[in-house]
Amino acid sequence: ELSAPQESRAAPACDKALELDEAAQNTREELSTVTLTNAAEVALSRLRIDQAERLIDRATRYPNPSSVSNPWIQKLYLTLAQGRFDNAQSALEQMLVWRNRQDPLIGVSNRAEHFLASATFLLLAGYTEEAARLAESALNQPDRNGNFSADDAQKDAIAALLTALAFRADYERQLEFAAAQEWGVRLSATASAQLTRLAAWRAGRRAASLFANAETMRNRLRPYGPLDVHIPEWIEPEIARLLGAGVFTSLIEDAETRGSFSGAQGYKHSFATESAALRHDSDGVIDAGTLALSLLPDAEAMLRARVQWHMARAHWQKGDSGSARDFFSASLRQDPSLARRLGAGIPVAISHDGSPSALALADRLSISPRFEASPEGLALEISANILCLRGSEEAVISCYTPARKSESITGDSPAILSLPLANDSALVAVEFQRQLFGIGVELSKAQRSAIMGASVVLRSQSYGNDTSLPDF
């Protein structure tokens, strides 16, 4: 009954059960991992996000090798949605350790679920190529073992959506790299990037065809709808970009009629903001966005950042540069990779100290797809020793200090491609954007190999003491 969009007799019963469970948890033995994760799913469907996290934390204490449930996946999604990236990295590590403890047959049957969760983290961390490969693997090798109540079409649609999103972000990253190069390398890198663009388009078309099915979308827009494969709420607006504003608006209206937004009006207005942005309706974006920001839970930090981005664009188009700078600043601080995922640029007022290196950097960054030169934009200050992007009231959003020639910039950087960098200014331009549009997480090649499921082995001698990835 709870899976139905409308309020039902099951809803208050679930609320009461959750309350009784919390009251009794100190006086009885722990429940099974599956029971606790199912209870967390119910709590999320009731938008009791803090309570859901407490249930997930309880579930993580008792590894069950024979269960398909991995509570660290839910923990990863929750912490990412809230912008708690350090906690998300820890959850990712624990998710891999937990998976390594599961029986081999279980590990195979829920492989795609782990791939999608890992790809989501890698996407935000800036490792877009690895994210695309993982998401595509989940699409080509889906779970077909009854681990979820959702049907196969939902699983495939979500995998295709994340695959398209990851390939699109990787394409944009390659364009950033190309823009920093001299003409010859730039043309070659831009041409190579078109293959990634094609992969994004193909995955997007597949996702659109699956989401266009009424049965697949039946309960899709309901926040944290039970019995569905989870799409992070901050990713769901991407469905609008696949289907178009008109179709998505009809879906919002249908979901509203079915009661999917009962007690969750903030999510409806966030979807309406996305639809208005696709129609280039600045007034509609501001009206819907204002309501969304006032009603969305504070825990939905990433979704709020997306709404703030669209409001920044709307104010910018209306000539209100002051409000636009405020919203751009807030959005970038919370979700640094959003501009790349949207394929959008940030209005910036570029200034430099007149040194040759600063002049070269200014030239390269001015043609990056991530920046739009404007005297009313955010301040992008460039000197020979430091680059800073400042938001409203001159508050620092991100600063980058170039490495000296005697120092080496990490070869693990996802922005360093196989093509040669033309000179120091090209390298600095690429690294500055890598830092600006990342979440401050560095993963070694060995760690990324473990996430990708390569031959790196996570050794676990017992179920009691291993709590982190090994020191590779």
Of 2-11, 189-198, 207-216, 435-444, give the lowest mean pLDDT range: 2-11
In angstroms, the CA 219 to CA 320 distance is 38
Of 10-24, 125-139, 329-343, 425-439, give the lowest mean pLDDT range: 10-24
Instruction: Give the mean pLDDT of 366-394.
Output: 93
- Highest mean predicted confidence (pLDDT) among 30-39, 381-390, 446-455: 381-390
User: With 60 as the cut, is the pLDDT of residue 7 above it?
Assistant: no
The two three-digit tokens of residue 372, written as one number: 């739009």
* CB atoms inside a 10 Å sphere around CB 425: 21
Of 111-125, 183-197, 351-365, 402-416, give the lowest mean pLDDT range: 402-416
* CB atoms inside a 10 Å sphere around CB 391: 20
- Sequence-distant (6+) residues with CB within 8 A of 437 are 126, 336, 337, 339, 340, 370
User: With 70 as the cut, is the pLDDT of residue 286 above it?
Assistant: yes
Give which of 166, 274, 297, 149 is closest to 219, Cα–Cα. 149
User: With 70 as the cut, is the pLDDT of residue 30 above it?
Assistant: no
In angstroms, the CA 7 to CA 10 distance is 8
Instruction: Give the mean pLDDT of 277-293.
Output: 98
Confidence of residue 406 (pLDDT cuts 50, 70, 90): very low
Domain locations in the chain as residue ranges: 1-62, 345-402+413-437
**DSSP one-letter string for 348-366:** EEEEE-S-HHHHHHHHHHH
How confident is the model at residue 461, as a pLDDT? 34
How confident is the model at residue 83, as a pLDDT? 96
Of 188-202, 213-227, 339-353, 429-443, give the lowest mean pLDDT range: 213-227
User: With 90 as the cut, is the pLDDT of residue 428 above it?
Assistant: yes
Burial class of residue 100, CB neighbours in 10 A (0-12, 13-18, 19+) = middle
pLDDT digits (tens, 9 = 90+) for 246-275: 999 998 998 888 888 888 999 999 999 999
Give which of 353, 420, 345 is closest to 386, Cα–Cα. 353
How confident is the model at residue 353, as a pLDDT? 92
Instruction: Give the mean pLDDT of 63-82.
Output: 90
Of 129-143, 277-291, 311-325, give the lowest mean pLDDT range: 129-143
**Amino acid identity of 21?**
D
In angstroms, the CA 316 to CA 455 distance is 49
User: With 90 as the cut, is the pLDDT of residue 39 above it?
Assistant: no
How confident is the model at residue 460, as a pLDDT? 37
In angstroms, the CA 196 to CA 128 distance is 11
Burial class of residue 386, CB neighbours in 10 A (0-12, 13-18, 19+) = middle
Confidence of residue 9 (pLDDT cuts 50, 70, 90): low
Angle formed by the axes of helices 128-140 and 152-179, nearest 10° = 160
